[in-house]
Amino acid sequence: MRPRPNFTLTVHMDGLEETHDRILERKGTFKIAVEGIKKAKKLGFRVCTNTTIFKDTDLVEIEMLFSQMTDIGVDGLLVAPGFDYEAVGEDMFLVRREIERKFAQVFEMSKRFRFWSTPMYLRFLKGEKQLQCTPWGNPTRNPQGWKAPCYLITDTHYPTFREMMEKTDWNRYGVGRDERCAQCMMHCGFEPTVVTEIAKSWKDIWEMIVWNLT
Ligand code: SF4
């Protein structure tokens, strides 16, 4: 791999060392990630981190994590709420009202750190905006093929991207359409909707321009 302006390495960081290693259930993963980020930055790669906010996430710790990531040269920060979807049945994930409460604080952090999560998406997370999911907006390719309908739910895999796009009944998925989607507010489904919704409001357009330029 060579550094390119439109190629980004995204590193998952769920907290400081103890928390991150506990969530990943493997000691040493935080240190490996930090060393990897430093090396990638030294080689000229564009790097962002992706942080999942869980029910028991300490937001003071997250602020410390973002400071540390900024200090080691991370270009941008992504955030998303964990939620209880079919593959993960643990109590640690947030439900919608809790997501909105926690993300009101995260929104304030976005004024101090270089968030790549869009302000429209963050307003959606804090309950100020209604968005529907665009499941095909961030397609997932894994060793089994193109995963449909989205990164989270696996109903099937297709051998080609074209087949996935043409054979999936996209109207079946999203909040209110499939019970597995009920609590979902993940960036993989809702950030693409920001792209299609932005032109509908001058206030949103202005906020996104300011966010892009600053
Ligand atoms: S709302 Fe969208 S991204 Fe979330 S689980 Fe459903 S289809 Fe997937």
pLDDT tens digits for range 17-65: 999 999 999 999 999 999 999 999 999 999 999 999 988 899 999 999 9
Q: How many angstroms is it from 180 CA to the middle of ligand 1?
A: 8
Confidence tier at 91 by pLDDT (50, 70, 90): low
Burial of 176 (0-12, 13-18, 19+ CB in 10 A): exposed
* 5 phi-psi bin (left φ>0, alpha ψ -120 to 50, beta other): alpha
What is the pLDDT, as a whole number, of residue 182? 86
Query: Rounded to an integer, what distance in angstroms lies between the CA atom of residue 50 and that of residue 34?
Result: 13
Q: What is the CA(73)–ligand 1 centre distance, in A?
A: 32
93 and 148 in a common domain:
no
Q: How far is CA 164 from the centre of its chain?
A: 22
Q: Quick one: average pLDDT of 104-109? A: 96
Question: Same domain for 106 and 135?
Answer: no
Distance (angstroms) between ligand 1 centre and the Cα of 153 equals 7
pTM score, two decimals? 0.90
Task: Give how many domains the chain has, as a whole number.
Answer: 2
Which of the listed residues 71, 94, 117 is the one where a domain comes to its end? 117
- Domain residue limits at 159: 130-205
- Quote the pLDDT of residue 13: 97
pLDDT, position 87: 47
Q: Which residue has the tokens 């109590």?
A: 91
Rounded mean pLDDT, 175-196: 92
Q: Is residue 7 pLDDT above 70, yes or no?
A: yes
Query: What was the pLDDT predicted at 85?
Result: 60
Q: Name the closest-CA residue to atom 8, ligand 1.
A: 150
Ligand 1 pocket list (CB less than 6 A): 85, 133, 135, 149-150, 152-153, 173-175, 180-181, 184, 186, 188-189
